[in-house]
Amino acid sequence: MDQVNMVNRRLRVLEERYANMGKKQQVSDQNMLKNSRELSTEIKAINEEMTEIKKDLEEVKDRMQMMIKELQASAKKDDLEVVKKYLNLWEPVHFVTQNEVEKIVREEMGRDE
């Protein structure tokens, strides 16, 4: 009878341990599911941010290409130097306007009369 009682106690202890292990396993599974959901949410957010960053980067690339084309179409330093030399040679400051020429002609014609 003592042996049966002892086996019975051991069986109860083992059943309690088994039940406790089952509870711990359930808690672990719930924690893993929670962490998995959180990670999934974070991964989605990161993917959305990466998509937005890619769009922004593509926009920056397009703008830079447009700027490069505009800079290539603009006048070069050598071209500006040539224009500067011609302006210095012609001295357009000394040119007269049509109105000034007409005024001078009228004045001269008025003197001759």
DSSP assignment string, 16-69 = HHHHHHHHHHHHHHHHHHHHHHHHHHHHHHHHHHHHHHHHHHHHHHHHHHHHHH
E strands along 68-107, which residues?
A: none
| Predicted pLDDT of residue 37 | 97
What stretches in the chain show pLDDT beneath 70?
113
pTM: predicted TM-score of the whole model, two decimal places: 0.54
Token pair for residue 32? Answer: 């893993």
Q: Which CA distances in Å does 54 have to 58, 63, 64?
A: 6, 14, 15
First to last CA, the chain: 159
d(CA 44, CA 52): 12
- Which residue type is seen at 1? M
pLDDT of residue 113: 63
